[in-house]
Chain A
């Protein structure tokens, strides 16, 4: 993957518009980690954008750079018509009340010494919203909304809760100031599947109840399909493909997306993943010195000379379906699962 461009950005009123975002970290004399390189995204009001990719693709860094945590190296983040990268500290703090984040590890993202009531009510205290009675009422309301018994839970501390309940507390805290945009960074990765389903359902409910717009960052492609309206696939700091979720899963246009989808183990013994997955070179290139041209070319089954010379630009391969590849697959070329016994496979 691995391309740049803004062809996939929509015209009109986007709640969030990320343009040419670059995040680099210094890594010793003359060396830089190219974590995010020229990524553009947009989100309409009420939409959920899934951001997927493997470790090191820059998906979390993108999420954090939108929050200005830390500020990106270059690029613009337009939120409600204002460029967050240009705001000074005080204005940014005020704007951040409408932008919230939910993290992967629910236990370590909560202060173990505070009571749940204090953790969830802290945003109100910081901004001096309401008196004690008003605050207590709002804390109770949001705790009930995320499925916790406010009466019983309020006086307890995080260690007295399971991982799933801690994630409910994190969600309650994120919702306290009634944000417009919530960035969820791997919110269910640390949870068991039965609990994961509870939290995914809760996020959908909260989205409807509070009118949220969401960025959902995750490595689990099935989870992302479940919650997302649009999905963006990242690889080594670049965008590969952006499309409406169902289109992207039915007909991946980028070879990397196709490989990712073919790698997902399916809970059905009659469906076999594409054996071509095993031909993918396992080693991810270093983000210190990313490959020239298309960053995916060193592992791409379709790479040709042009891929090293020219970086592919994001282009529309079918209506509303964008990919950055010189050889974007025509949509119906999705991998068809073959039906063979597992013992014959990989032989």
Chain B
């Protein structure tokens, strides 16, 4: 089924892990759609549920002690109802994933070549010689020099950046239409990060592939996405087209997160606006807004009642009772930048 509707629809997705202390509500009611060929950035801190969201979409969850409810529909097909065998037909062929640590996502005792051709032989049923030729071509396209020689290398013989290029080549091998990239550059140096992000962007455009880029770094998503969803305590608390989010963020958590990062253009020794406290315990999240206990704008209502998603403009929604003024945060950032100029 190759419809004209959105490529991915997630509706009221909840993933709860059952522990001795109770259910950890890691993803707690997430809904969004993603159009073909578009990039969605998912931003949040540790424990916000961003990685579990990506894994829940993929169906890559532990077999036991997990309750997933809600629906994930990919190209008109309900992924949430598929058996593990049916999911294996989707993984790699339709939806692929790139993980944070390329050392642990590659098999250390299998040569690079076999790890790339494995998916091609499974999904495309290509003969060995042809899949090797395609693997070499893939390695070249992800910027690995001497690809034929590299096919015989083991992961430990490559640098971290090269390894991540290999995992991207594996993810792209069968021409998926959706790529989930979970912190793909977090383990890499900054110059390598820039190269890997460019590579992902280029591959995505050439293949008209949709991408969900999961990261903790607002800088990474700013330049690389069409839209951004900000997660906190298992929920999307603000979502907007990328330019709109940065010029007009409304949710107080988005604002606090943005204010807390030191920027390379800021003057030295600037007092940072830290967010006090820590994220809520997801076994017993607060009754009202999950950010209220740390929010300096919180009032009574925030503690009593969870804010519903409010529409601020086309494609821009946020969950906040007392949001920032439109443009408030962008104006602050501009003032700071001009202060730093000589």
Contacts and interface: CB of A to CB of B under 8 A. Distances in A.
Given A269-B243, A342-B201, A280 B264 contact: no
A198 interface: yes
A194 interface: yes
B193 A283 contact: no
Contact of A266 (B197, B260, B263): B263
B269 A204 contact: yes
A280 B191 contact: yes
Interface stretch (B63-71, B118-126, B274-282, B298-306): B274-282
A263 B191 contact: yes
B130 to A, nearest CB: 29
Interface string A185-212: 0000000111111101100100000000
Nearest to A282: B161
Nearest to A261: B264
Interface residues of A, number: 54
Interface in B158-185: 159-162
Given A266-B223, A270-B243, A194 B192 contact: no
A259 B191 CA distance: 7
Nearest to A226: B262
Given A266-B263, A267-B258, A268-B333, A192 B46 contact: yes
Interface string B131-153: 00000000000010000000000
Interface stretch (B80-88, B95-103, B211-219, B311-319): B211-219
A259 B257 CA distance: 27
Nearest to B201: A346
Which of B222, B224, B264 has the most CB atoms of chain A within a 10 A radius of its CB? B264
Interface in A199-258: 200-201, 204, 219, 221-223, 225-229, 245-246, 249-250
A164 B189 contact: no
Interface stretch (A7-15, A84-92, A271-279, A306-314): A271-279
B257 A193 contact: yes
B264 A266 contact: yes
A273 B143 CA distance: 20
A284 interface: yes
Contacts of B195: 277-278, 280, 282
Of the four ranges (under 10, 10 to 19, 20 to 34, 35 or more), the interface on chain B belongs to 35 or more
B202 interface: yes
Nearest to A165: B278
Contact of A263 (B45, B193, B265, B266): B193
A263 B223 CA distance: 12
B205 interface: yes
A333 interface: no
A125 interface: no
B260 A197 contact: yes
A261 to B, nearest CB: 7
A271 B333 CA distance: 13
B231 to A, nearest CB: 13
A162 B278 contact: yes
B105 interface: no
Given A265-B220, A342-B201, A227 B159 contact: no
A222 B264 contact: yes
Interface string B41-53: 0000110000000
A192 B45 contact: yes
Interface string A162-197: 101000000000000000000000000000111111
Interface of B: 45-46, 143, 159-162, 189-195, 197-198, 201-202, 205, 216-220, 222-224, 242-243, 246, 256-258, 260-276, 278, 333, 340, 342
Those 10 A-B pairs whose CB atoms lie nearest each other, nearest first: A265-B219, A197-B274, A194-B275, A197-B272, A54-B189, A226-B262, A198-B274, A267-B218, A346-B198, A263-B194
25 contacts: A54-B192, A55-B189, A192-B45, A192-B46, A193-B216, A194-B274, A195-B274, A198-B275, A200-B262, A201-B271, A225-B266, A226-B266, A245-B268, A249-B265, A261-B264, A264-B219, A265-B194, A268-B222, A271-B222, A275-B198, A277-B191, A278-B194, A282-B159, A284-B159, A346-B202
Interface of A: 54-55, 162, 164, 192-198, 200-201, 204, 219, 221-223, 225-229, 245-246, 249-250, 259-273, 275, 277-278, 280, 282-284, 342-343, 345-347
